[in-house]
Amino acid sequence: MRVMNEQMVVLVTGGSGMVGQAIKKVSEEENHPNEKWIFLSSKDADLRDPEETRAIMRKYNPTHVVHLAAMVGGVYKLIRLNCDFFTYNFRINDNVLDSCKELGVKKVVSCLSTCVFPDKTTYPIDETMIYNGPPHDSTLGYSYAKRMILVMNKAYKMQYGCNFTSVIPTNVYGPHDNFNLEDGQVLPGLIHKGYLAKHKNIPFTVYGSGTPRRQFMYSVDLAKLIMWSLREYEEIDPVILSVDEEDEVSIKEVAEMVSEAFDLQDGVHYDTSKTDGQLKKTASNAKLRKLLPDFKFTPLRQGIKETVDWLEANYENARV
């Protein structure tokens, strides 16, 4: 556990994205006097470039880093740009962790994804199962780039004594998400489609059958858990940040919640000519629950409604 009067200068890479903005919101609400939070965006530096990465890190000289920056996207973008997802993300991760080592950063928390887990596996998945097989082909490049963070964290600890760790969130959604229909992930894509159905009379159509199941977590909940991991979590091995297994829902159920939040009258249509992607990724949060047994997650229906309301109020400036 950190010393409470220790001054923390926390640099958040990818700070303009959904999770970064959620952390900013929570940090401003908490207003800890011994914490200074700095949020970077891609406009501040190209983290694929080692010199730009070193320069921005030296400029702010953080004591702690939350590493969120990544090339991200939904299943269709992942399939289309598999090689780019690997090379870009590996370069970003390598540059950030190397700069943190050079500056003597006290702790780094990197954000992974359940895509790192094997495609062929038993459920629920937990932190011990990551290397039990290859990930799903649709996420190959992104998944292996994220897996390499785990390797680097251990290697930096073994050789240099660095306190670099990681968290593995399940599907995240919320205000400031990427709602782009081509490149966004499933829930923000559904919310954007719901918006278009309400305001443009475009049929609310779900790609695939709606049968895949996912655990969705509100961005503000993830922000609180990442901040906890930065302050309190002391292991190098990762921890899954997820809602409980019984909170897993089908894409069909989520689509119906989105339709309800927009008060759509025409129902939900399914384009079964489109791929479903991975059908199941059920994750166990037993490790998290052992450490934080009383953490309360935002109910999915409530989080969707709050995200829908945010998009309605901010559509002109949202990532659509």
Q: Where exactly are the structural domains of the chain?
A: 8-173+216-244
Please tell me the predicted confidence (pLDDT) of residue 2.
45
Q: How many whole angstroms separate alpha carbon 181 and alpha carbon 177?
A: 12
Is the peptide bond preceding residue 118 cis, with omega within 30 degrees of 0? no
pLDDT digits (tens, 9 = 90+) for 198-208: 999 999 998 88
Predicted confidence (pLDDT) at residue 41 exceeds the cutoff of 60:
yes
Q: Residue 232's CB: how many other CB atoms inside 10 A?
A: 11
pLDDT digits (tens, 9 = 90+) for 204-230: 998 888 998 999 999 999 999 999 999
Q: Average pLDDT, whole number, for the chain?
A: 92
Please tell me the predicted confidence (pLDDT) of residue 79.
79
Confidence bin at 1 (pLDDT 50/70/90): very low
Write out the DSSP string of 150-214.
Answer: HHHHHHHHHHH---EEEEEE-EEE-TT-B--TTTS-HHHHHHHHHHHHHHH----EEES-S--EE
Please tell me the predicted confidence (pLDDT) of residue 201.
92
Confidence bin at 3 (pLDDT 50/70/90): very low
pLDDT digits (tens, 9 = 90+) for 114-133: 889 998 889 999 999 999 99
Exactly one of 60, 123, 131, 142 is catalytic; name it: 142
Q: Residue 236's CB: how many other CB atoms inside 10 A?
A: 16
Please tell me the predicted confidence (pLDDT) of residue 208.
87
Please tell me the predicted confidence (pLDDT) of residue 5.
59
pTM of the predicted protein model: 0.92
144 belongs to the catalytic site: no
Q: What percent of the chain has pLDDT over 70?
A: 97
Q: How large is the average pLDDT for residues 46-56?
A: 97
pLDDT digits (tens, 9 = 90+) for 251-294: 999 999 999 999 998 888 998 888 777 787 899 999 999 999 99
Predicted confidence (pLDDT) at residue 80 exceeds the cutoff of 90:
no
CATH topology for 8-173+216-244 is Rossmann fold (3.40.50)
Handedness of CA 305, 276, 278, 83 (dihedral sign): negative
